[in-house]
Amino acid sequence: MAEHDRNSEQARKGRIVAIVIAGTALFWIAATFIGAEMGLSQRVRALFDLIALGGFVFALAMIYQIWRQRQKNEG
């Protein structure tokens, strides 16, 4: 039963990571498009790029945590 709980917890974390990645990508695409249409300065567009980069780094960190947890559970 404990293994089932661990698997469902890992699956939940995996879904969260997928949502973070998809949401960050949609934000980045929308921010780039809106920034170009509104004529925002390069500084503001770079800020949006850095925010998106932060979202992707956060997702990568979560993926690493899931991977380490799976390695710990298998061995």
What's residue 75's pLDDT? 64
Can you say how many angstroms the Cα of residue 75 is from the centroid of all Cα atoms in its chain? 27
Range of the domain at 43: 2-74
Match 């089932």 to its residue by tokens: 4
Please tell me the total count of domains within the chain: 1
What's residue 6's pLDDT? 79
What's residue 74's pLDDT? 76
Coil, helix or strand at residue 23: helix
Q: Evaluate whether 13 touches 62 at the Cβ level (below 8 Å).
A: yes
pTM of the predicted model over 0.85: yes
Successive 10-residue mean pLDDT values, the chain, 75 residues:
79 96 98 95 96 97 94 79
What's residue 60's pLDDT? 97
* CB burial readout 4-40, b (16+ within 10 A) else e: eeeeeebeeeeeebeebbeebeeebeebeeebeeeee
